[in-house]
Every structure is written in structure tokens, then in C-alpha cells.
């Protein structure tokens, strides 16, 4: 089966099986799509639905967010995790307000210049918001291509030049079609060609999949380790931020101690939150979200 046939079958499958996600609706603005891309980084879709809806209702444009205090963005981020994303999104909104007349820019270079926007996020926004032709390589797409074209259960830990060259071979020439393929292959990896329990019987391209034809060989690369959470600095940072988000007034050292009793880890994590700009000193032994 040639690559154009793979693309056609995956896109046709997507048209029938795609999840109904609000940032995919025709009336979703580029800003709404940009917010979804920030929130979806390292966060499952179902955890994003509610916060996304609240966010775009409260701040329906980049200017609306930019005009709000940065601390309100951090507060509204809630328990999505990796809260620096909230700060970066606020900074990006400010740049859009100040340098792009309040409109999410269409050009890939302008997108890359925004705070918090790397190569993947820029390509995703350009593709999904503006229907441009870009290589959108998230974990799901990489896994689909690794299995279908290379017969490997998983891609390498980080994308290689050879992997990108392979992905370009699947990318349709027409921008609209390329954007459709990007979201369709991503959805296939999220729903069918999953990391742990792939549903090959439901896959539209099983007959073209090298991995399936070879008997679904096990992964022979470096061990794939999941991330722990309990007791980590990430959990500690989240506990401290939860205290700050719950109060409209500055909180005390005692408030933070109650949230995380272990002093050395608490002090280390508080210092890292201050360094990241997520927490600011508000007086003697007082702390607040950024103003």
C-alpha cells in the first residue's frame, strides 16, 4: 500500500471516528486553538476540556488575557500541571497584543518568536488554525509512523533527521490535506495505535502496517520508564501553588509549611517557583502569585 493510500484511509477514518473536541469546531478561533495546544502539552485531553472552556470564556482573545494580571492566569490554570505554561501563555498573549494587533500571527517565524512556542506548537497552530502545510510530529504521530513504515513498536526517545524525512514523505502536498492528515494521524495514535494496548483490529491501515505484518515485535530500544509523582519536587511545587491559588491575599511561610512539612524540599521548591516567576515575595515571610 502506498503512502497516499495510507493518508486517505486514515483521513477517512478520522472523518467518522474523531472525538468531538471543542477546539476542533469550525467556529474555534486561532486563539482558542492556541490555548488548547498549550494546555495539551503533557496533559490528557479529558483533563483539558473543562479548564479550556473556562479559560476561553473568561479570556476569549489574547488581549483579554494580556490585560489581566499574570497571577490570574496561574490561578486559572488550576491543577493542569506544569504551571509555567500558564505564565508563558500570558506572555505570548501580551506579545500578540503588543506586536500583532491582538491577532494570533499566521507566519511560522512569528509564532516561533512567541514565548512558550516551540517548533511543535508553532507547527500545530499553523496547521490546525490556519490550515497550512507543516510537519506536526507529536508522540502519537511518531508512533503511528514508526509502526506503519518501520515495523518498530515505538519511535526513538527524540525525533531524528531520518524520522522527520520519513514523516515528510507522508505529508500531502495540498495545505488543507496536510492539515487534515496531521490531526487524523494524531487521533489514530491517541485512540487506536496506542502505546500500551493498540487496537489493530480497529485500525484502517492494518494491512499496510509493517509492525503488524511482522507479528507486532516487542520494543528493543532503551527501557521506557513512566514518571513518578508522589514525593517529587513536582508534587511539592503543586502543593505550594495550590495554597497560593486558593487565596486572594498573600500567604505566609506557615501556610506553606502546612501544605508541605519537609523544610528543605519546601524551601528548594519555593525558590524554584520564584525563579520561574510563578511566585513573588510580598513582604516579610509573605508570598503571592505574580501581579
The backbone torsions φ and ψ at residue 260, rounded to the nearest 5 degrees and listed phi first, read -150, 95
Burial of 103 (0-12, 13-18, 19+ CB in 10 A): middle
CA end-to-end span of the chain: 57
Q: Is 37 a catalytic residue?
A: yes
CB-side neighbour CA atoms (13 Å) of 91 = 15
Q: Which residues face 287 on adjacent strands?
A: 251, 281
Euclidean distance between CA atoms 21 and 39, whole angstroms: 13
- Residue ranges of alpha helices (H) inside the chain are 3-17, 30-39, 45-58, 62-66, 70-77, 84-99, 108-112, 119-130, 139-150, 161-170, 175-191, 210-213, 233-245, 253-259, 263-275
The residue from 37, 72, 163, 187 that is catalytic is: 37
Active-site residues: which are they? Answer: 37
Amino acid at each position: 500500500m502506498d503512502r497516499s493510500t495510507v493518508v486517505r484511509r486514515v483521513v477517512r477514518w478520522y472523518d467518522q471516528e474523531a472525538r468531538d473536541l471543542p477546539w476542533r469546531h469550525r467556529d474555534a478561533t486561532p486563539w482558542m486553538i492556541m490555548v488548547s495546544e498549550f494546555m495539551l502539552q503533557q496533559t490528557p485531553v479529558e483533563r483539558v476540556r473543562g479548564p479550556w472552556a473556562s479559560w476561553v470564556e473568561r479570556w476569549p482573545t489574547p488581549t483579554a488575557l494580556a490585560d489581566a494580571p499574570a497571577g490570574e492566569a496561574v490561578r486559572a490554570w488550576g491543577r493542569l500541571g506544569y504551571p509555567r505554561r500558564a505564565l508563558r501563555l500570558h506572555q505570548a498573549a501580551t506579545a500578540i497584543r503588543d506586536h500583532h494587533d491582538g491577532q494570533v500571527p499566521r507566519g511560522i517565524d512569528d509564532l516561533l518568536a512567541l514565548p512558550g512556542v516551540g517548533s511543535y506548537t508553532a507547527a500545530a497552530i499553523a496547521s490546525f488554525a490556519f490550515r497550512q502545510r507543516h510537519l506536526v510530529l507529536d508522540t502519537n504521530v511518531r508512533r503511528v509512523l514508526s509502526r506503519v513504515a518501520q515495523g518498530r513498536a515505538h519511535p526513538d526517545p527524540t525525533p531524528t533527521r531520518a524520522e522527520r524525512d520519513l514523516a515528510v514523505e507522508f505529508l500531502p502536498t495540498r495545505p488543507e490535506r496536510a492539515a487534515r492528515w496531521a490531526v487524523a494521524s494524531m487521533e489514530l495514535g491517541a485512540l487506536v495505535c496506542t502505546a500500551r494496548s493498540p487496537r489493530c483490529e480497529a485500525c484502517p491501515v492494518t494491512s499496510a502496517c509493517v509492525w503488524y505484518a511482522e507479528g507486532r515485535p516487542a520494543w528493543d530500544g532503551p527501557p521506557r520508564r513512566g514518571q513518578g509523582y508522589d514525593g517529587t519536587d513536582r508534587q511539592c511545587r503543586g502543593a505550594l501553588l495550590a495554597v497560593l491559588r486558593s487565596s486572594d491575599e498573600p500567604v505566609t511561610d506557615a501556610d506553606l509549611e502546612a501544605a508541605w512539612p519537609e523544610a528543605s524540599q519546601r524551601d528548594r521548591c519555593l525558590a524554584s517557583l520564584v525563579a520561574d516567576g510563578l511566585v513573588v515575595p510580598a513582604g516579610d515571610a509573605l508570598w503571592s502569585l505574580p501581579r
